């Protein structure tokens, strides 16, 4: 059954945790989809893990559409959520609606995600008005890395904690159907999760959220530029891959690959004529 805004929101009511992973291509989308992951997020984190940038700021609408299209083709049941990249919605409400529309129309996403709380509520309202489901993202919002001065835990002071709660309530009022809480103290995230009716999806926000999200290269140990404290490596796929690449090299150089089972035959008669 296809995951929808309604099925995801019912999961909060039924205390059935929502699973979300980042996904950037067709093969991975099929693997995650058949594993029952509820939401595939085409995160702008693709700037770091797929494209090798230092942060998410250089990611373009074209990058996001390219990857979203690939994921959409592989997601039969999972909800496809696409991040709006830096400067695709901050500039104006008009830009926000136009670019959200492109992710739906060209990327075939089921919804979009944008960073910010009360500051981006005009954008959220306008995108929702255009019948596009919006997921908000508050706490550590990586597109604001230069304003924050680094990737740091948010909401630790009383003032910042109150602001986070207000931001969550504001995006709910603006029409967001879900909200990501990134890098906030677990007890604060649990409080926010009780304070709003929409599902909260945590990353570095503890088990009190209504769901969890991780970058897939992090949880499979395929990415090593940095490793946030909140990452759990569920399998060492990076090591498995490195071993396979080394074995391939050894067999090619040693002449054991390709062997009989990997080749195509031709009659000796024809070969003799060629000589
Ligand atoms: N591979 C990857 N994983 C992510 O989780 C991720 C991305 N890329 N790109 C976009 C953002 C950036 N994120 C990050 C990046 C670094 C830290 C980090 O290193 N945090 C430190 C300091 C926390 C503190 O003490 O304030 C940590 O130890 O977790 C956290 C989130 C989360 N997102
Ligand atoms: C980490 C998640 C929430 C994200 O926004 C991304 O992958 O870009
Ligand atoms: Mg993102």
How far is Cα 54 from Cα 48, in angstroms, rounded to an integer?
6
Q: CB burial class (10 A; 0-12, 13-18, 19+) of residue 203?
A: buried
Does residue 45 have a known ligand-binding role?
A: yes
Q: pLDDT digits over 157-169, tens only?
A: 999 999 999 999 9
What's the gap in Å between 48 CA and the centre of ligand 2? Answer: 11
**Catalytic residue annotation:** 182
ipTM: 0.96
How far is Cα 110 from Cα 79, in angstroms, rounded to an integer?
6
Is there an atom of ligand 2 within 6 Å of 40 CB? no
Residue of the nearest CA to atom 2 in ligand 2?
43
> Which CATH architecture is the domain 5-236 placed in?
Alpha-Beta Barrel (3.20)
Does residue 44 have a known ligand-binding role?
A: yes
Q: Please report which confidence band the pLDDT of residue 171 belongs to, taking 50, 70 and 90 as the band edges.
A: very high
DSSP state of 85: P
Q: pLDDT digits over 10-20, tens only?
A: 999 999 999 99
Q: Please report which confidence band the pLDDT of residue 70 belongs to, taking 50, 70 and 90 as the band edges.
A: very high
Stretch(es) of the chain classified as CATH 3.20.20.60: 5-236
What's the gap in Å between 83 CA and the centre of ligand 3? Answer: 6
Q: Which atom of ligand 1 is nearest to the CA of 47?
A: 9
Residues 6+ apart with CB under 8 A from 246: none
Q: Which atom of ligand 1 is nearest to the CA of 215?
A: 3
Whether the CB-CB separation of 232 and 219 falls below 8 Å is answered with yes
pLDDT for residue 215: 98
What's the gap in Å between 193 CA and the centre of ligand 1? Answer: 21
In terms of pTM, does the model score above 0.90? Answer: yes
How far is Cα 16 from Cα 236, in angstroms, rounded to an integer?
28
pLDDT for residue 205: 98
Alpha helices in the chain, H assignment, sequence order: 5-13, 26-34, 46-49, 61-74, 93-105, 121-129, 145-148, 158-174, 186-195, 216-219, 237-254, 268-274
Q: What is the pLDDT of the chain when averaged over all its residues?
A: 98
Q: What does the block give as tokens for 139?
A: 């706490």
pLDDT for residue 38: 98
pLDDT for residue 239: 98
Is there an atom of ligand 2 within 6 Å of 20 CB? no
Q: E strand or H helix at 181, and its extent?
A: strand 178-182
Q: pLDDT digits over 83-92, tens only?
A: 999 999 999 9
């Amino acid at each position: 059954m296809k995951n929808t805004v309604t099925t995801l929101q019912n999961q909060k009511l039924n205390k059935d945790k929502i699973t979300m992973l980042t996904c950037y291509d067709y093969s991975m989308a099929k693997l995650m989809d058949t594993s029952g992951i509820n939401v595939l997020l085409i995160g702008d984190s693709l700037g770091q893990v797929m494209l090798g940038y230092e942060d998410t700021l250089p990611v373009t609408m074209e990058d996001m559409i390219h990857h979203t299209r690939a994921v959409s083709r592989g997601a039969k049941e999972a909800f496809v959520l696409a991040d709006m990249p830096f400067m695709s919605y901050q500039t104006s409400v008009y830009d926000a609606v136009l670019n959200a529309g492109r992710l739906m129309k060209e990327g075939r996403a089921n919804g979009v995600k944008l960073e910010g709380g009360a500051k981006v509520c005009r954008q959220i309202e306008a995108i929702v008005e255009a019948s596009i489901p919006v997921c908000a993202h508050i706490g550590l919002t990586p597109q604001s890395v230069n304003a924050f001065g680094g990737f740091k835990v948010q909401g630790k002071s009383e003032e910042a904690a109150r602001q986070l709660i207000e931001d969550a309530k504001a995006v709910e009022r603006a029409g967001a159907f879900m909200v990501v809480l990134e890098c906030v103290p677990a007890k604060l995230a649990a409080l926010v999760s009780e304070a709003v009716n929409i599902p909260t999806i945590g990353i570095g926000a503890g088990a009190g959220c209504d769901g969890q999200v991780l970058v897939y290269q992090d949880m499979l140990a395929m990415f090593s530029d940095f490793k946030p404290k909140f990452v759990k490596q569920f399998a060492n796929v990076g090591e498995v891959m490195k071993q396979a690449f080394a074995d391939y090299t050894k067999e090619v150089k040693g002449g054991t690959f390709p062997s009989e089972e990997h080749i195509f035959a031709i009659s000796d008669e024809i070969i003799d004529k060629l000589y």
